Amino acid sequence: MNDSTLCNDECSAFLEHACLTYGSNDGPECVQSARDMLGGDPRLARQNVWAAACVGDVQALSGFLDSDSDLANRKGGPFNWEPLLYTSYSRLNIPDCSTLDAAKLLLDRGADPNAHYMWGGQYKFTALTGAFGEGERGPRCQPPHQDCEALARLLLEAGADPNDSQALYNTMFTPGHRCLELLLKFGLGQNAKCNWLVGCKPSGLRPNTQGTLQYQLMWAIRKCHTLRARLLLESGADATEPDESNSPWKSAVLAGHMEIIDDLLRHGAKAEPLSKVEEFVAACMAGNRELANQLIADQPSLPQDAMKTMPELLHNAASTNRTLAVRCLIEMGWDLNAKVNGNSALHQAGWSGHLDSVKLLVESGANPNMNDDAHNATPAEWAAFAGQREVILFLSSL
């Protein structure tokens, strides 16, 4: 193997560690290894246009573009991405370098602000998606770009599509809504459709017909993100349109969140009849133990009926840190170690980093050593994968 090939291989490994890829290696340790590689061989930053973009070495990037203007949109590197994607998914944050300035240069030289790749052949990850970062593993492992808002504005002002469903998906797991606010400001509207494909691979994938704002509203309701739900309703999300499960109003009632219920009613939702089981669930999820007990007095089978028809309630309460609901469900006799989709409520609380719910579950008898069915992992291992340090420390001390 000659020196040039060796350097190319090293450069590919460097870029694989430096970028957010939404794989199992995402996290600060992986990025630090890329910084260490660059410190050991600074030539990596100037190996090719994709490395220069990733590092934010504007001088080197300018030189590459001066020599070949087509490089602004040339795919390459280990991910076969355009250079703009390497700037937006880079998490290197190297002193005296700027991936924001690199993105400006690329756009000035004709880079497509809507550059993207299809994750798994199904999900559209754009440069804008990379700017906002985050995702299912949380902001520690999948942080936003260091110049998140400035880079997002730059891309949007250059013509990036504000209907970035993946960016909204990745940022919906935490309560903030700056991504949503910015996309709305730049034209995200009520007629937008989720832009990932649905169906079964390899031949059955098709465009999504679900509205972007509607998808976000139903998630915000079920996860009790009050301010986000309010913003979505004010921006045109339909307070009456149901999804495959329930209407927005019933979803809010079954989540036990009165503020969101009031907002929905103000935007045209109507109250609907509830079964006795649904009334009981609504009381439990609102943490209203007095009402729950009154309902049980009239119909003692309600806890068992609710557990049978909605086994995910304790998981939902724990994953959103609704400790009043968790406590109420425990008092109503919920099985603390029941698995839903192969994992326990403690797995969900640990993954989400909700220490209060984790402590409450453990103190009430949840098993911290239970393995889930899919990964054979404990709640502590789920927390570790999501980078939830406080939960890891607590569970490790047991």
> 212-266 sits in which CATH class?
mainly alpha
Where do the structural domains in the chain lie, given as residue ranges? 3-185, 212-266, 299-396
pLDDT in tens, the chain (398 residues): 334 445 688 999 999 999 999 998 899 999 999 999 999 999 999 999 999 999 999 999 999 999 999 999 999 999 999 999 999 999 999 999 999 999 999 999 999 999 999 999 999 999 999 999 999 988 989 999 999 999 999 999 999 999 999 999 999 998 889 999 999 999 999 999 998 998 876 668 889 999 999 999 999 999 999 999 999 999 999 999 999 889 999 999 999 988 999 999 999 999 999 999 999 999 999 999 999 999 999 999 999 999 999 999 999 999 999 999 999 999 999 999 999 999 999 999 999 999 999 999 999 999 999 999 999 999 999 999 888 999 999 999 99
Integer CA distances (angstroms), 206 to 1, 122, 130, 167, 243, in order = 44, 9, 24, 20, 18
Do the domains spanning 3-185 and 299-396 agree at the CATH topology level? yes
Cα–Cα distance between 377 and 369 in angstroms, integer? Answer: 9
Tens-place pLDDT, residues 36-80 = 999 999 999 999 999 999 999 999 999 999 999 999 999 999 999
* Superfamily of the domain at 3-185: Ankyrin repeat-containing domain (1.25.40.20)
- Dig out the tokens for 11 from the structure: 């450069």
Question: Residue 206: CB partners within 8 Å, gap ≥ 6?
Answer: 197, 198, 199
Neighbouring CB atoms inside 10 A of 190's CB total 13
Cα–Cα distance between 172 and 186 in angstroms, integer? Answer: 19
* Residue from 214, 229, 292 nearest 265 by CA: 229
- CATH number for the domain whose boundaries are 299-396: 1.25.40.20
